[in-house]
Structures are given as structure tokens and as C-alpha cells.
Amino acid sequence: MNNLNKIIILSGGFSYEAEVSKTTAKEIEKALNNNVREIILIDPVKFDSYSEMIIMIKEIKPDIVFNGLHGAEGEDGKIQSLLALENIAFTGSTQLASAISMDKYISGILAGYIKIKLPKRRLIYKDYKYDFKSIVEYVGFPMVIKPNDSGSSVGITIINKENELEESLKHAFKFSEKAIIEQFIAGRELTVTILGNEALPVVEILPNEGWYDYKNKYTKGKTTYEVPAELTSEEVKIIQKQALDVFHLFGCEIYGRVDFRYDGKDFYFLEVNTLPGMTQLSLTPMAAREAGISFKELLYKIIELSVNRK
């Protein structure tokens, strides 16, 4: 698809993942630069309102808006709703699927309906009183404390003692009004990228130290990636099917990434990322390369699928 005149890339935004979004946007711009007549980067932060931003996008009349935003107010359905209302073509899933996927607790409930395993977990609202003793007894240690609706491992802690719980929740509540207390599944961290209706090769994430936190995620050399992950053909078949099942259940389309933990026996669903990163260290371009799809080809495939959305 090389006949594109004008593309807008949404970059930055209001979330705690704004800097990662800007890196994603620059990588997309660089890859498409020689094949598109005009590429315009737009940051929602620069406008007084989303309405003002939409007016500008309509005036520019792009062939498509490539959504390079990450996290809240880019990935949660708000931007998608505004673009859809104005019949502006955009990349990635539509508003409802985006909203479902962004809510980790709701998305987990839905995955559970189709018999996909989940870690034990509880949803915690800020400023509510809870019987944490019973929650600790149910979930057990170690446990993961995380915001209900953010990405890039922002606000997440892994704890081993009850006296660490209060501070960890305070930290999570800096990023969301809701937090999840979740069983930590010992084992392997695996992710499956979906492109169109196809599951790409499985990627295993192996931090050199600690766990896959923000620093290990975005610092070169801090994490090793196994592509494809060392799994049996039967294990690959199971995890790819589960990823596709969840992706379609939520109504996701075009592309995305489904994250799991694997204890050697069962795959445990964690979340769907509807706008995966497109940096040099990002997992989706990695999986695409293993499938023989270059970064530029990946971007054009995303654009083609989005333009031809039914």
C-alpha cells in the first residue's frame, strides 16, 4: 500500500507513557518517510481540547490517523470514539474493544468466561476500606500490585510481605483510581502478537535482573528476548489459540498483543495491549521480524487493514 498522500501520527499525549509514545511515533515516521508525501505528528497535549484537535485533523484530511499513543486517553477508547464519530480512519481497535482491553479487571473476567486461566486477584478502589487479611489469605505471596488501567509496567510492584502492601497500593493509586492485587505466577513471561487474524511467533521476555519493569522494558541490554520462545508445537498451538480467542472476544481488530505467564502447566492471561509499542525494543516488531515481516511491511499491513475496516 504505497499510494498514501498524507498521514497523521498521534504522539505523546497525557498518560505516563507519553515519552514512549513519542519514541514509537518517531520510529513510525522514520519508516514511512520515503513512501508518504506528508507525515504530520500531532500531540494532544498541544491543544486546549480534543474537539480542537479533531477540527485540525479534519482540516488536514489525512488518509489515515496512525494512533501512536499509549496508556490512558490514547488506548482506552476516548480518542477512538472521537475519530469514529467524525468518520476519520484510524489504526487499531475501535472504542469498545479498546476500553475493555484497558480495564485489566474487566478483561480478566471476560477471559475467564471462555475458560482461560487467570491469577487469583482482587480489585481495590482508592479510599475504600477492605479486609486485607482475607485478601492476602486468598491471593498469597508473592503478589503483584498494579494499576487497573495503565501500561508499560507503570505503577507495578511485586511484594513478599503484608507490611509492603500499603505503600504498594499508594504507588498504584498514583496512576489509577483502581488497583489490582494479583497472585504472582512463578514461571515464564510470554507474549503473542496478533496481526489481522493471525497469531505471530511467541516471544519470551527474560529480564537480566528482577522483573520486566519500566527500566528493563525500555533500556537496551536490560532484557533478553527469545524469538520464537522455546515451546513445544503443542504449547505454541495452545497459547496462540488462547491469544486469538481473547482478542476476538474483546472485539479487538487490526493488531495487538496478548500477555501471559506460564508456570509450565497452564498459561495465565494477564492483559491485551491494543496499541503495542513500535520502538526498537518493542515486542510486536520483534515477532513480526521472526515471521518474515519487516518493520515497514508491518506498518503498511496495519494501515491497510485499518483503511479497509468493515
The catalytic site residues sit at 17, 152, 218, 257, 259, 271, 273, 277
What is the rounded CA–CA span in Å between residue 130 and residue 271?
25
DSSP-assigned states of every residue in the chain: -----EEEEE---SSTTHHHHHHHHHHHHHHHTTT-SEEEEE-GGGSSSHHHHHHHHHHH--SEEEE---STTTSSSHHHHHHHHTT--BSS--HHHHHHHH-HHHHHHHHHHTT-B---EEEEETT----HHHHHHHH-SSEEEEETT--TTTT-EEESSGGGHHHHHHHHTTT-SEEEEEE---SEEEEEEEETTEEPPPEEEEESSS-S-HHHHHSTTSEEEESS-S--HHHHHHHHHHHHHHHHHTT--SEEEEEEEE-SS-EEEEEEESS---STT-HHHHHHHHTT--HHHHHHHHHHHHHT--
Bridge partners, 269 (sequence order): 260
**Side-chain-facing half-sphere of 25: CA atoms under 13 Å:** 25
Select from 133, 200, 146 the least CA-distant residue to 173: 146
Bridge partners, 136 (sequence order): none
What is the rounded CA–CA span in Å between residue 153 and residue 165?
17
